[in-house]
Amino acid sequence: MKDYIIAWAVTIAITIGGLFGVGFVVGVIMGITGNVQSADHLEQAGWFNILVLLAMPLINFFAFRFSIKKFIQDK
């Protein structure tokens, strides 16, 4: 049971880290292109919300797959 809880916690941590990475990449691109002022209202932008909603299941799938292989299938 301990391995399942660890795998669940690792999945959550990797998913949050991956979403942070998506936001970081978007912020860097906005900084390079000079759209830094629009970053204040980014959470209201429709394209950003769609990007996050599409990226989260993909990140979560690979995080879950990694944590299962690392903590549960080896034992």
pLDDT at residue number 4:
87
Domain locations along the chain? 2-71
The first and second tokens of residue 11, run together, are: 């999945």
- The 10s digit of each residue's pLDDT in 20-75 is 999 899 888 888 888 777 767 777 888 888 999 999 999 999 999 999 988 888 66
Q: Determine the Cα–Cα distance for residues 28 and 15; give it in Å rounded to an integer.
A: 20
pLDDT at residue number 57:
94
Of 46, 49, 52, nearest in space to 21 by CA: 52
Q: Is 58 helix (H, G, I), strand (E, B) or coil?
A: helix
- pLDDT higher than 90, residue 3: no
Q: Determine the Cα–Cα distance for residues 9 and 47; give it in Å rounded to an integer.
A: 29
pLDDT at residue number 74:
65
pLDDT at residue number 75:
61
